[in-house]
Amino acid sequence: MFQFVIRRLLQGVVLLLILSIALFLLMMNLGDPIATMGSGRALTRPEDRARLTRQLGLDKPIAVQYLYWLAGNDWTKVDSDGDGVPDKNGTRVGIVRGDFGTSLVTRKPVSEMIGERIPNTLILMVASEIITIVFALVIGIYSALRQYSVLDNFLTTLLFIGYSMPVFFVSLMSMYIFAVLFKKWGLPYLPTVGMFDPQIGKTLTQVLWHMVLPVTSLSVIYFAAYSRYIRSTMLEVMSQDYIRTARSKGLPRRQVVYVHALKNAALPIVTVIGLDLPFLLGGAVVTERIFAWPGMGRLFLDHLSRADVSVVMGILMLVAVAVVIFQIITDIFYAWLDPRIRYN
Amino acid sequence: MTASSSLSVPQLTDDLSTPPLTLGQLGWLRFRRHKMALFGGVTLILLLIFSIGGAFKYAEKYANFNDTAQRLKPPSVEHPFGTDSIGRDILARTIYGGQISLFIGFMAVLIETILGILVGAVAGYYGGAVDAILMRITEALLNIPTIFLLLVMAKFFGGKIPEIHIGARAFSGSVVVIVVIIGATSWMYLARIVRAEFLSWKEREFVLAARATGTSNLEIIFLHILPNTIAPIIVSSTLSVANAILAESYISFLGMGVQEPTATWGNMLDKSAKYLDTAPWLWFFPGMLILLTTLSINFVGDGLRDALDPRSRAI
Amino acid sequence: MTTTLLQVSDLRTRFHTPEGTVHAVNGISFHINEGETVAVVGESGCGKSVSMMSLLKLIPSPPGDIYAGTAVYRNHDLLKNSEQEMEDIRGKEISMIFQDPMTSLNPVLTIGRQITEALREHLGLSPESAEQRAIELLEQVGIPDPARRLFDYPHQFSGGMRQRVMIAMALSCAPSLLIADEPTTALDVTIQAQIVELVARLREVLHMAIIWITHDLGVVAGMADRVIVMYAGYIVEEANVEDLYDAPSHPYTLALLAALPRVDRRRDQRLKSIPGTPPNLLVEPRGCPFAPRCEFVIEKCRQENPALIQLGKNHATACWVDVKTGAPR
């Protein structure tokens, strides 16, 4: 088991390295970050631009830039005043030591910027995931047990529609109904912008209230997809021989379904949910944009459009790391859950 | 005791339960039974008629014609879907937008199918180091949520391709960009499926026989094994069209996709968020069209999956 | 004094499928006495499993439909029971063991759990006494080191062992009737013999009636008191086991017996097979369902489906022809 974990970790590291190289190459060609840096007059003279370019190390070959990004530059001399002559050691320690670099736009450390925004995104994601799982389990199991019934057919169709919808359609529709129409009809309506009302402040109720619409948008689609998957997994499990054996022993239906069937269905369900979790971040990008939620997704969008390599790479690598970690966790969890793997 | 010899077979009064049919015929017969799949198919055809046929009623110039005096008008007889923020007729724009969105969907899937088959077949057939490398690359790409990949690539390629003129029509170069990047970021799923199929099919005896008679590897891959794997490829590709259309709408919605004035359903939605409370028709119609399209494709794909399931020979 | 344990009359089960209605069981009637072993013989698809699963109402109900007949067990018609009432019968009064021990045991639960749950459900035993009893049961079926193996999972046992575990599970509450659905078909021949012997031994101890479903006539000879032969959802012959082998009276039974490979045949004699194919159950037969494949067929066979005709004590056959003479009865 230990060997298994080590092997997966090593594979993960190799994967991340490959990814980082590919992404870095892509990033280098995104455009000229100097051009988007705002301080107006100071950057219009070519000499100033050249100086800044040298200071930021953007004149170095790509391989060197990648190396600095990966392992820092505090072990070598860099040109800190931009005059073309390397003078003192750099201040970066590289991503392997946790230094995500500095934003080319805001000049703040990227880790700080991401750190500010990540909790907000996590709030949305965790809430969506919990709601999705709970509802999907309920509907999925219910629908599997009532196969062929009118309700099952109706639900199946509804779920189908649900997971064919683009996220922003759900968002726009829910915004329209619960914010605009409700307001028009004089009903209490839900807020659609940001995380809290700046006049009231960042209270728990404010945040919760503001969370409703974004979380709903995110959840609807995943919930529809998971329900279908849980339903089909349960159906497959319920048709297995060992369920027939359990019934022939005269066990009550509840026990047959929730112990015998569910324990088996849990294996593939857990795998799917676990592997899918980090991909929820993708949905967050769109949702945060629509609802002006101050999360990591918005940070990504804002800085991508300004070719801010450090921030974009930082976020991308973070996401990739999250995916790899979740894969490993899911694998381990599955191996632990399935006695056929655990006892071998 | 009279007993006919055990070798003679008496006249049988019951016949075989399943007459012999090709996979295509069988597939069609079973597809027909799925009401939802048929509904999806019909809706798709209607949508295609809408997008292509509609072009005969409204010229493209009209779709891009803006009269700011007419801005943000709700649906009326003159403008059945209303007008947008600079006075363009939304119905006409959804027609042309539909053309682009559907075109992007199909073309992207074409690219991704070719890539997916190539990678999957080579990895599955040759195995060994080739397989390992290809799979590492595939996994690496799968490890990033598609949206991030798409956005980064959109930014990377953005603005590098000039406007294209075909006949009397002008397309923003971003259409090509979008097609390429969607194709380049979705082939991995098909590659995995194709690889799994090849892994199992290459062990079959007919492959051994083909090799023994000196058939080249290329011939074996494309003429012998590939035809057997058509069913899951068709299903996957069909469903991918829906994903491709959704992907295009996502990036266009975020402003990084197809650029103005070329319309797509996605970029029409982008502009609509600002006018959410005053002009819901701005997002409703393009949004519904996207929904209907992906829904129909999903229905059809689902029906195809059941119809082409090679394990079940029942009608 | 033999008492009738179960009396089945005109049981009919069908399945509603998109392709049509499959007539799986078409009116079978039989009885079984306490302590008796009845073998049910026939080809795959003849309805033997479906009829016995109908008794326990284990047929999945949207496609399946037990639409006629009665099954009186101890003065109570099982087919009229609610699901609750059936749950009290299953595992306690009537138990079942199945063909494939690989897939019939739940892979994620310990076998100890799978044995004790029936004990706790039906006999109300505490966890400790249930565990104790489970260990005894495992010993009885010949599993070595039972106290430790209680905590093992099905995949840690061999095929024969798993079938023994299934038997232990089924007999845990000392049922009066055991339905064994081809329990040895999936096992090696040597293991088969062991399992048959085990069940025979336990039958004595528990004074249990057994319905043994099989297509292997060799097993029948060793185990059964009486035999029922089924074809296309009908019972075509029933007899005491000696009478079946001495004086088979239905063409199908004859053909089955003739198809058995025998050690004392000449080497150059071809194995006899039954020509033709089993009938399509989507169509209700006109006339005798075996007529297309029968070597004794006369015109009447194609017109009218024969009902069971009594030939003697416990011996009945559904055939218009006397197979000893070839002439109509």
B210-235 tens-digit pLDDT: 888 988 888 888 888 888 888 889 88
Q: Mean pLDDT, to the nearest integer, of B261-285? A: 81
Measured CA to CA, the distance from residue C21 to residue C108 in angstroms comes to 36
Q: What is the pLDDT of residues C24-33, one digit of tens each?
A: 999 999 999 9
State the Cα angle at B82 between B77 and B88, rounded to 5°.
115
Q: Band the pLDDT of B3: cuts 50, 70, 90.
A: very low
Pairing of strands C64-73, C76-77: antiparallel
- Run of H or E including C10: strand C4-17
Q: How far apart are CA A46 and CA A205, in angstroms?
A: 52
Q: Residue B315: in which H helix or E strand, if any?
A: none
pLDDT at residue B32, as a whole number? 67
> Considering Cα of A287, then A288, then A293, then A296, what sign does the dihedral take?
positive
Residue B292: how many other CB atoms lie within 10 Å: 18
**Range in A271-280, B53-62, C315-324 the model is least confident about:** B53-62
Summarised one tens digit per residue, pLDDT across range B160-191 is: 777 777 766 667 778 888 898 899 889 999 99
**Residues of B whose CB is below 8 A from C295:** 2-4, 10
CB–CB contact C326 B1 (8 Å): yes
**CA distance from start to end of chain C:** 34
What CA–CA distance (Å, rounded) separates C46 from C232? 4
Q: What is the largest CA-CA distance in chain B?
A: 103
Q: Which residues of C touch A248 (CB under 8 A)?
A: 56, 58, 90-91, 95-96, 98, 170
CA angle centred on B116, ends B185 and A315, rounded to 5°: 20
Find out whether C229 and C240 touch, Cβ atoms under 8 Å.
Answer: no
pLDDT at A32: 62
pLDDT at residue B8 tops 50: no
Left, alpha or beta for C10 (phi > 0: left; psi -120 to 50: alpha)? Answer: left
| B302 three-class SS | helix
- Å between C94 CA and nearest CA of chain B: 35
The H-or-E segment that residue C248 falls in is none
C-alpha neighbours within 13 Å on the C-beta side of residue B34: 23
Residues of chain A in contact with residue B152, where contact means CB-CB under 8 angstroms, are 23, 26-27, 30, 304, 312, 316
Distance CA C237, CA C257 (A): 13
Q: At what angle do helices B281-307 and B265-272 cross, to 10 degrees?
A: 140
Average pLDDT rounded to a whole number, residues A233-249? 93
Q: What is the mean pLDDT of residues C1-28?
A: 88
Mean pLDDT value across residues A284-305: 88
Q: Please say whether the beta carbons of A264 and C107 come within 8 A.
A: yes
Of residues A240, A250, A253, nearest to C89 (C-beta): A250
Count the helix, strand and coil residues of chain C and give each as a percent rounded to the nearest 5: 35, 25, 40
Chain A: list its partners (3+ Cβ pairs within 8 Å). Answer: B, C
Which pLDDT band holds residue A31 (cuts at 50, 70, 90)?
low
Strands (DSSP E) found in C136-225: 177-181, 209-214
CA distance C62 to chain B (A): 19
Q: Using an 8 Å Cβ cutoff, are A263 and A277 in contact? A: no
Q: Any idea what the Cα angle at residue C87 is, between residues C163 and C153, rounded to 5°?
A: 30
Name the amino acid, one letter, at A24: F
- Write phi, then psi, for B7 (nearest 5 degrees): -90, -20
CB C119 within 8 Å of CB A249: no
- pLDDT at res. B263: 81
With CB atoms and an 8 Å threshold, state whether B315 touches C280: no
> Would an 8 Å CB–CB cutoff place C57 in contact with chain A?
no
The alpha-carbon gap from A144 to the nearest alpha carbon of chain C, in Å, equals: 13
Partner chains of C (3+ C-beta pairs under 8 Å): A, B
- Quick one: pLDDT at residue C94? 95
Residue B38: its pLDDT value, please?
A: 85
Question: What does the pLDDT read at residue C175?
Answer: 94
Within the 251-270 window of chain A, which residues sit less than 8 Å (CB to CB) from chain B? none
**Integer CA distances (angstroms), A165 to A130, B34, B263, in order:** 21, 22, 20
Q: Which residues of B touch A (CB under 8 A)?
A: 36, 136-137, 139-140, 143-148, 151-153, 155-156, 242, 246, 249-250, 253-256, 269, 272-273, 276-277, 280, 283, 287, 290-291, 294-295, 298-299, 302
Decide if pLDDT at B68 tops 90.
no
CA distances from C131 to C44, C117, C148, C156, C172 (A): 38, 10, 11, 19, 11
Euclidean distance between CA atoms B94 and B105, whole angstroms = 15
- In angstroms, the CA B251 to CA B245 distance is 10
pLDDT > 70 fraction of chain B, expressed in percent and rounded: 86
The reported pLDDT for the residue numbered B5 is 42
Q: Put residue B171 in one of left, alpha, beta given phi > 0 → left and psi -120 to 50 → alpha.
A: beta
Does C282 reach chain B within 8 Å, measured CB to CB?
yes
**CB atoms C109 and A260 under 8 Å:** yes
pLDDT at C295 over 60: yes
Contact A298, A239 (CB under 8 A): no
Pick the more confident residue, B303 or A137.
Answer: A137
Q: How far apart are CA B191 and CA B134, in angstroms?
A: 10
Instruction: Check pLDDT > 60 for residue B9.
Output: no
Strand order across the beta sheet in which C4-17 lies: C20-33, C4-17, C64-73, C76-77
Confidence of residue C1 (pLDDT cuts 50, 70, 90): low
Quote the pLDDT of residue C77: 92
Q: pLDDT tens-digit profile of B77-109?
A: 777 888 877 778 888 888 888 888 888 999 999
Q: For a pLDDT cut of 90, what percent of chain C falls above it? A: 56
Tokens of A284: 């967050």
The pLDDT assigned to C37 comes to: 94
Bridge-partner residues for C32, per DSSP?
Answer: C6
> Mean pLDDT in chain C?
89
The pLDDT of residue B270 is: 81
Given this model, what pLDDT does residue C72 score?
94
What mean pLDDT value characterizes chain B? 81
Question: At residue C170, does pLDDT exceed 50?
Answer: yes
**pLDDT value of residue B75:** 80
Burial, A40: exposed, middle or buried (Cβ in 10 Å; 0-12, 13-18, 19+)? Answer: exposed
CA distances from B224 to B131, B198, B212 (A): 20, 11, 14
User: How much is the pLDDT for C14?
Assistant: 92
Measured CA to CA in angstroms, residue B201 lies from B118, B133, B196, B197, B215 at distances of: 16, 21, 9, 6, 16
Phi-psi group of B167: left, alpha or beta (phi > 0 → left; psi -120 to 50 → alpha; rest → beta): left
> Is the CB of B6 less than 8 angstroms away from the CB of C18?
no
Label residues A1-39 b or e (16+ Cβ within 10 Å = b). Answer: eeeeeeebeeebeebbebbbeebbebbbebbebbeebee
**Which tens digits make up the pLDDT trace of A36-90?**
555 544 556 777 777 777 777 777 787 888 887 787 777 777 777 767 777 777 7
pLDDT tens track for C203-236: 988 899 999 999 888 788 888 999 999 999 999 9
**Which residues of B are less than 8 Å from A304 in CB distance?**
151-152, 155, 256
Q: Do A245 and C104 touch (CB under 8 A)?
A: yes
Give C114-125 pLDDT, tens digit per residue.
999 999 999 999
Relative to beta strand C309-312, strand B164-166 is unpaired
The residue assigned the tokens 């999360």 is A295
pLDDT band at B13 (very low <50, low <70, confident <90, very high): very low
Q: Exposed/middle/buried for A237, CB within 10 Å: 0-12, 13-18, 19+?
A: buried
Residues B127-137: what's their mean pLDDT? Answer: 88
- Do A100 and A110 meet the contact criterion of CB atoms below 8 Å apart? yes
Q: Give residue B312's pLDDT.
A: 52
Q: DSSP letter string over C17-59?
A: ETTEEEEEEEEEEEEEETT-EEEEE--TTSSHHHHHHHHTT-S
